[in-house]
């Protein structure tokens, strides 16, 4: 059926942006890798990248239609998310895909996250299919759970922020820009340096999630009390850390990476979960919105933190 085709094409396309390990730039030869001479039509400084140039396969025509009908696309997205998930959002960007437009949004309530919705388009008749908006399976639910996890563990995440800021200052590291998070982020609860996801099988978070859906006005204390520590499994809560070198010609710094790895392993005041760490050079691959390349440093095995 048509929407199965839509789902497949969008999953394949968006996975380059929203997956845990994004695509490496295999197209550059070793000389370009070593010199950091990144082609300007393909790469942009992390300091200025705002999402411009990001694209999805076969989406040029639909993106033009979507922008010509911007108000209708925004209304369809907001209405769907309010009805299905009781969340209010600001729409930041629209990127055409083969069968419609991928809408990047940011929540405006006390639970903060970035995510996406897909608004189908009848390309031949240039018509927005407002009644058929959908989201990738589990994406919003996982984003809500991740946001709840950060919300009820505010002190632990403040500690993670403090540690990252310290390493960043020492080694001249920066995170993603706010504009890029808004325009091509879509990774759930996110800061410039990391994003958090809690999956459907996270039994510790399940009662918190259920309580929030039943009573969105539940207090922070009530939500925290619902957290079932006896069922915590770090394999179902993911915290992905990603940094960039601030200087244009700098290669990913192994000492900086080692320091991030060290504090994640040793600081028991951090949020529990499964940590992945990536450190990139200075540049973002514009069409995919990723900094991961062949010279990026990645911890070979995720760090499991359960104490």
Q: What does the pLDDT look like over 187-215, one tens digit per residue?
A: 999 999 999 999 999 999 999 999 999 99
- What span, in angstroms and rounded, lies between the C-alpha atoms of 75 and 49? 27
Q: Is 37 or 69 the better-scoring residue by pLDDT?
A: 69
Tokens of 11: 């999953």
Residues shown for the chain: 307
Q: What percent of the chain has pLDDT over 90?
A: 84
* pTM of structure: 0.86
- 91 has a pLDDT exceeding 50: yes
| Structure tokens that stand for 59 in this block | 């989406």
Q: Give yes or no for a contact between 13 and 251, defined as CB atoms under 8 angstroms apart.
A: no
Angle at 293 (CA atoms; ends 288, 295), nearest 5 degrees: 165
- What's the pLDDT score for residue 33? 46
Backbone angles phi, psi at 279, to 5 degrees: -130, 125
Mean pLDDT of 259-272: 97
In angstroms, the CA 242 to CA 45 distance is 15
pLDDT digits (tens, 9 = 90+) for 101-128: 999 999 998 999 999 999 999 999 999 9
């Amino acid at each position: 059926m048509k929407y199965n085709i839509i789902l497949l094409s969008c999953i394949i396309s968006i996975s380059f942006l929203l997956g845990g390990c994004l695509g490496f730039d295999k197209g550059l030869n070793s000389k370009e890798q070593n010199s950091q001479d990144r082609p300007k039509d393909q790469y942009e400084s992390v300091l200025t990248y705002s999402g411009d140039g990001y694209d999805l396969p076969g989406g040029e025509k639909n993106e033009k239609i979507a922008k010509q009908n911007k108000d209708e696309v925004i209304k369809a997205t907001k209405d769907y998310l309010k009805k299905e998930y009781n969340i209010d959002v600001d729409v930041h960007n629209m990127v055409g895909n083969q069968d419609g437009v991928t809408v990047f949004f940011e929540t405006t309530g006390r639970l903060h996250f970035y995510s996406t919705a897909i608004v189908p388009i009848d390309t031949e008749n240039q018509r927005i299919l407002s009644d058929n908006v959908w989201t990738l399976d589990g994406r919003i639910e996982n984003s809500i759970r991740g946001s709840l996890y950060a919300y009820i563990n505010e002190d632990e995440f403040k500690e993670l922020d403090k540690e990252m800021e310290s390493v960043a200052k020492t080694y001249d590291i920066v995170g993603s820009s706010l504009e890029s998070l808004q325009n091509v982020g879509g990774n759930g609860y996110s800061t410039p340096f990391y994003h958090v996801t809690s999956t459907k099988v996270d039994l510790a978070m399940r009662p918190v999630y259920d309580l929030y859906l039943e009573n969105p006005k539940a207090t922070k204390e009530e939500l925290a009390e619902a957290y079932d520590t006896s069922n915590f499994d770090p394999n179902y809560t993911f915290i992905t850390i990603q940094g960039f070198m601030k200087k244009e010609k700098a290669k990913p710094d192994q000492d900086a990476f080692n320091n991030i790895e060290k504090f994640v392993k040793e600081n028991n005041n951090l949020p529990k979960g499964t940590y992945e760490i990536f450190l990139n050079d200075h540049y973002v691959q514009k069409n995919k919105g990723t900094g991961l390349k062949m010279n990026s440093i990645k911890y070979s095995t995720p760090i499991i933190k359960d104490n």
